[in-house]
Structures are given as C-alpha cells and as structure tokens.
Amino acid sequence: MKIENINTFGELKQSGYKSQSIKDELRYNLREKIKTGKSAFEGVHGFENTVIPELERAILSRHNINLLGLRGQAKTRLARKMIDLLDEYIPYVEGSEINDDPFHPISRFAKNLIEEKGDETPIKWLHRSERFSEKLATPDVTVADLIGDVDPIKAANLKLSYADDRVIHFGMIPRANRCIFVINELPDLQARIQVALFNILQEGDIQIRGFKLRMPLDMQFVFTANPEDYTNRGSIVTPLKDRIGSQILTHYPESIAIARTITEQEAKLDKHQSELVYVPNLAKDLLEQISFEARDSEYIDNKSGVSARLSITAFENLLSTAERRALKAGADHTTLRLSDFMGIIPAITGKVELVYEGEQEGAATVAQHLIGSAIQTLFPVYFPKIEKLERPDAKTPYTDIVEWFFTESGFELLDDATDEEYQKVLDDVSPLSALLKKYQSKLDEKELYFMKEFVLWALVEYKKLSKDRFAQGYEFKDMYGSYISKL
C-alpha cells in the first residue's frame, strides 16, 4: 500500500510511520546524499568547495540559516534547492490550517478533532513541493502578515468572543508549519517586525493580540541578506542575529569557466536562435570577462555588487543582436561578431550602480569601457602583449597590420553587412591573416573571423589604431589618419 493512500490516523499508525521534525528530516536526507556521493544542490555552480560545505554543516547542525551576500549570488536558489532534501510526502490532519502532525498536533482544531475521532481522524498528504514558503521583506510587512491577527469576521460568523483563540487568523509563518520558510532581504524588515520573530526562532511561542499560545512550530528558517543593506536601508537587529544558527557568506564565480557554465544554464534561448547563431568560445569568455571587469571598475560601486544576471541577460541580448542581423539579411545561419557586443549595452547599464565618476561618464560610456577593458585583459592570452611604449623603429608582430591601415586608409565594418561582405572586408587585411596563421594556427574555421575582429578591437584599445562609430557601423583607421581627419 502506497503511503499516500493512507487516509486515517489509525491506518497511519499501523503502517509504522514515524514522524520527525523538519530539521531532522533535512539532516537525515542530507546524510544519505553525502553517503552516496550525490549532490544536494545540483545546478548551483562555483560553491562546491566554499558555500555548499558550510550550508551542509548548518543543515546537519539543525540550524536556521542566514545567507549573506551581494545580489545575484544564488542565495534564493540555494534556499529553494533545500526542498530536494525533504521527504516526498508528510501526513497532516485534514482541514488543519497549519499542517498539524497527527502525532504531535499543536492547534486547537487538530487536538479537538483527534480527541473526537481518534483513529478515524482523516489525514491528508503534503508533497514537498508545497512545503516551501517565501516572503520578500519590505518596509510595509506587518506582524499580522507574518504571525497573525484577530479576525472580526470569523468572530462574527462563529459567534465567538474576542477572548476565544478560535478567532485568530494565522499569518504566513504559522501556516508554513513543517515547511521551509524563507525571508528574503531580511534587513529591509522593520526592527519591530524582526523583534516579533525572536520567540518563534528560540522558544516556538507566538503571541497574537494578547493571546499567548504555546505553539511549538516546526520550521526551517532561511534568511537572505545583502551586506550593503546593513548601512543603506536597515540592519538585522542583534538579538535576531544571535538566534540564527549559521551565517554563510556567498560569493560571485571565481573563474570564467564557472561563470560560463552558469550563463549557459540560466540563459533563456529559443531553439531556433541557438541554431541560427554560432557563438565562438572567445565570445563567451569575453562576455563573462565583462562582469569581472565591472566588479573591479572604478566607475562602479563594488559594494553594491554586479549580479550574475548581467552575464545572463547580456548573453541573451548578444544572440538577439546577431539573430536580428541575420534575419534582416535573409540568412539561415550566422556567426557572432565582436561588433554585436554593442547590443549588450542595455543589459549592462541597468545592472550596475555607478559611483560619481561613473555618473559623469554616463552609463553607456561606462558599458563600452567595460567591453574595451575585457578585450585588453583577454588579448595577451591569445597573442603577444602589445607594449604601450615602443621605439619608433621597433618591429612588432602588429607593425604590418598598422602599416596596412596607414597605406590603405582603413575600412568600414557595417552593422548589417552579410557574412560574405563581413568576411571579405577582414580577409582584405592580409597581415591580419598572417598574424593568426602564426599565433593561432589551430583555430577552428568557425572562430577565425571573430578572432580577426578581436585583434582589430584590441589594437584600438592599445592606441595602435582608431575606431569611429557612424550611423551604419564602424570605421577603422590608423591613428595618424584619424588625427588628420579631425583637423
């Protein structure tokens, strides 16, 4: 007989079912996963040796948890993944507002029903997917929202005195009994509301409008907080912090490889879009490097953080830019271009908090600066370093390219050029092909033209060539010719 087919308290007893607290339940199921070598937080990358071991230790210790970190560090995702550590089903007294355990009822309703019907008490089964409750802390949250309040309509309908505890309407927390309850952005919760959580966390009491109810709620609390909030909008009151068992610090991806994995997992791409646009590996690395540059940029407030969502939405924008270009050209396939990166600027500007210097530069200019910085950082990985100071007569790997631009007066790369036109323009720069043949001889054919354009953009960043934007695209010229044209 399947356990979820048991319908009465008597049948539940006969089945040999043993109830346990949610913290013991999480602990037991985590122990089994650790023994078998299975990941308890599958799909969360970059935390394998840092955050996840600390989180597992907190669960094994039966602690309430505070995940402390900047925005976009998978705090809420970690909390939601804890659902996988719950039993598939648990029994509760049918009709109970607070998921009463038949073996340990805590509400008057459940106690009275079990006393009246005994083994015939009807029970229902709660799936683990329904055992997760989440509340975003905002300044307008009240004690009534979280804990409960007296319901005058219920009192009138049942013809009860306000002194009768049956007139209470339970808030979100009691209704999440035997569940994981998450409060996001805890510092945004007013101090007086945080105080209301003291007894729930420590003693299990709840107090509503003068009613002191001894209700040992069985809950796993998970809080999330941003350290910036401690000074800007609010703080976690000290006695509440003292009652939270473990505080775990989250962080951003520590390598481009991890960041790429996260972006590719989270980006919402249409199947046709993925088939239409080929994305070179260098383009994926460059996209992630932009976020790394943003976190170190003098124009951006690093205390605010740069969310992993920047890379995810930028990747979506990047493919859409190439897709739009291909659709306009009537092509059924295209390869991403470096000039397509200008399409990700809207994804960057909305996700960074600028300091005063950044505000003076302007959000779009800062975004372009980040793209340029990412190109400068990655360029020495593929080609010899471009020195800032060189003797005038010194021969470098890039001399022939610079001289070609001096002789040929440069060229234009149009935004809507077809792939054939785009490739022809780059192939005409013969020293560019020679450079790639020497330093990137094993490069895949699909990656070739992105790499060629990458070299040109890098030479611009290192002040060896000039690049000017006009309505339909970009014009690349030698630095000397650029100065003459401006006179």
pLDDT attached to residue 161 = 63
pLDDT attached to residue 131 = 95
**Cβ neighbours of residue 152 under 8 Å, at least 6 residues apart?**
162, 167
- pLDDT value at 286 more than 70: yes
Task: Print the SS3 string covering the chain.
Answer: CCHHHCCEHHHHHHCCCCCCCHHHHHHHHHHHHHHHCCCCCCCCCCCCCCHHHHHHHHHHCCCCEEEECCCCCCHHHHHHHHHHHCCCEEEEECCCCCCCECCECCCHHHHHHHHHHHHHCEEEEEEHHHCEEEEECCCCCCHHHHCEEECHHHHHHHCCCCCCHHHEEECHHHHCCCCEEEEECHHHCCHHHHHCCHHHHHCCCEEECCEEECCCCCCEEEEEECCCHHHHCCCCCHHHHHHCCEEEECCCCCCHHHHHHHHHHHCCCCHHHHHHEECCHHHHHHHHHHHHHHHHCCCECCCCCCCCHHHHHHHHHHHHHHHHHHHHHCCCCEECCHHHHHHHHHHHHCCCCECHHHHHHCHHHHHHHHHHHHHHHHHHHHCCCCCCCCCCCCCCCCHHHHHHHHHHCCEEEECCCCHHHHHHHHHCCHHHHHHHHHHCCCCCHHHHHHHHHHHHHHHHHCCCEEEEEECCEEEEEEHHHHHHHHC
Decide if 244 contacts 233 (C-beta within 8 A). Answer: no
With tokens 């840092």, the residue in question is: 50
- pLDDT value at 213 more than 80: no
Show the CA angle centred on residue 129, arms to residues 98 and 253, nearest 5°: 120
Residue with the bigger pLDDT between 238 and 388: it is: 238
Query: Each residue of 182-207: pLDDT tens digit?
Result: 999 998 888 888 988 887 887 766 76
- pLDDT value at 210 more than 70: no
**Mean pLDDT computed over 432-442:** 92
Under the phi-then-psi rule, with left for phi > 0, alpha for psi from -120 to 50, and beta for the rest, what region is 468?
beta
pLDDT attached to residue 2 = 72
Q: Which residues pair with 466 in a beta bridge?
A: 477
Query: Each residue of 12-34: pLDDT tens digit?
Result: 999 989 999 999 999 999 999 99
Instruction: List Cα–Cα distances, 284 to 280, 413, 434, 448, in angstroms.
Output: 7, 22, 25, 15
Q: What is the pTM assigned to this prediction?
A: 0.87
Query: Each residue of 299-355: pLDDT tens digit?
Result: 999 888 899 999 999 999 999 999 999 999 999 999 999 999 999 999 999 899 999
pLDDT attached to residue 483 = 47
Binned at pLDDT 50, 70 and 90, residue 35 comes out as very high
Decide if 193 contacts 139 (C-beta within 8 A). Answer: no
Give the Cα separation of 97 and 79 in Å (integer).
Answer: 24
Decide if 45 contacts 253 (C-beta within 8 A). Answer: yes
pLDDT attached to residue 204 = 66
Residue with the bigger pLDDT between 227 and 49: it is: 49
Query: Each residue of 153-178: pLDDT tens digit?
Result: 666 666 666 556 667 778 899 899 99
Query: Each residue of 390-432: pLDDT tens digit?
Result: 666 678 899 999 999 988 888 889 999 999 999 999 999 999 9
Query: Each residue of 456-480: pLDDT tens digit?
Result: 999 999 999 999 988 889 999 987 6
Query: Each residue of 64-96: pLDDT tens digit?
Result: 999 999 989 999 999 999 999 999 999 999 999
